[in-house]
A = this chain, B = another copy of it.
């Protein structure tokens, strides 16, 4: 089969010899591949903050006869992407052998997310957000493969509230837990096969009247039994790996909610960070 010379490949091949303004255009197209195909040359120029003529020259530079031809190519490519996604729902066998696994797994994670959405308990979620927002100190407990989730949650909670610590190995766990009181919160994260220590952390804290929140995979999980509030996210995959995709998304949701909830305190801090990011970044404004 003929080598596929779509816009994105051409951009990649020629990116070395691009001028400043051309790079702006390239970056925009790459970052917004489903907006670009519909834009007129003028609109694209405006959004990428370059002159209209430069956009046209960019198309020629990539080897097209003009802007129109490049646009058609972008549209063609978008149509292909769409059929790829749609076909997925029909049959998995259509995909080339070498990437079949990828579609399988991503598709299962799609299901995990949908499942999680439909199982979501609104009041538990609200309660979780409330507890996090009010807590004096927060300890996140997550071992082994859940470590990644715990780290992520801790990282962002500290960005928001500056009161969170991460317990990632069990050596000093109980010492640290025993410093907590009833205004503090322990967040335990555990998925099959559940780590015994995480369950212990929750029950230990609950007995001592420390608030507890669990992120786990089902209502029947041992963590759910021990925690004052718990949230559920599916993690099944036809693989030896457990999928933390849905739990991670749930954590995104929690963080976003906490961020919006504690507006006055957090808002300025976030705005400062945004500014910092803007200054340092080479990002395009959203289309």
A residues bordering B, Cβ < 8 Å?
A: 8, 11-12, 15, 26-27, 29-31, 33-35, 37-38, 72, 75, 78-79, 81-85, 87-88, 91, 95-96, 98-99, 101-107, 109-110, 113-114, 116-120, 122-123, 125-126, 129, 144-145, 147-149, 151-152, 155-156, 159, 192-196, 199, 218-220, 222, 224-225, 237, 239-241, 243-245, 248-250, 252-253, 255-257, 259-260, 266, 270, 273-274, 277, 280-284, 286-287
CB contacts (< 8 Å) of A33 on chain B: these are 119
13 contacts between A and B (CB under 8 A): A8-B219, A12-B219, A31-B218, A35-B79, A88-B114, A98-B129, A102-B122, A102-B253, A104-B253, A109-B249, A148-B151, A193-B277, A239-B252
| Contact of A105 (CB < 8 Å), options: B149, B253, B282 | B253
Stoichiometry, copies per complex: 2
Given contacts A105-B249, A117-B103, A152-B244, contact A96 B122 (CB under 8 A): yes
Given contacts A38-B75, A99-B126, contact A245 B249 (CB under 8 A): yes
| Contact of A193 (CB < 8 Å), options: B91, B123, B281 | B281
Nearest Cβ on chain B to A91's Cβ, whole angstroms: 7
Task: Find out whether the CB atom of A106 lies under 8 angstroms from the CB atom of B283.
Answer: no
| Contact of A144 (CB < 8 Å), options: B27, B155, B259 | B155
Task: Find out whether the CB atom of A144 lies under 8 angstroms from the CB atom of B253.
Answer: no
Give the distance in Å from the alpha carbon of A37 to the alpha carbon of B224 in the complex.
22
Given contacts A82-B78, A193-B284, contact A123 B110 (CB under 8 A): no
Considering only CB atoms, which chain B residue lies closest to A81 in the complex? Answer: B118
Considering only CB atoms, which chain B residue lies closest to A266 in the complex? Answer: B240
CB contacts (< 8 Å) of A196 on chain B: these are 281-284
Give the distance in Å from the alpha carbon of A12 to the alpha carbon of B232 in the complex.
14
Task: Find out whether the CB atom of B283 lies under 8 angstroms from the CB atom of A101.
Answer: no
Give the distance in Å from the alpha carbon of A96 to the alpha carbon of B220 in the complex.
25
Task: Find out whether the CB atom of A237 lies under 8 angstroms from the CB atom of B256.
Answer: yes
Considering only CB atoms, which chain B residue lies closest to A168 in the complex? Answer: B151
Give the distance in Å from the alpha carbon of A81 to the alpha carbon of B115 in the complex.
9
Task: Find out whether the CB atom of A220 lies under 8 angstroms from the CB atom of B113.
Answer: no
Task: Find out whether the CB atom of B30 lies under 8 angstroms from the CB atom of A219.
Answer: yes
| Contact of A284 (CB < 8 Å), options: B37, B148, B149, B199 | B199
Nearest Cβ on chain B to A47's Cβ, whole angstroms: 15
Task: Find out whether the CB atom of B237 lies under 8 angstroms from the CB atom of A243.
Answer: no
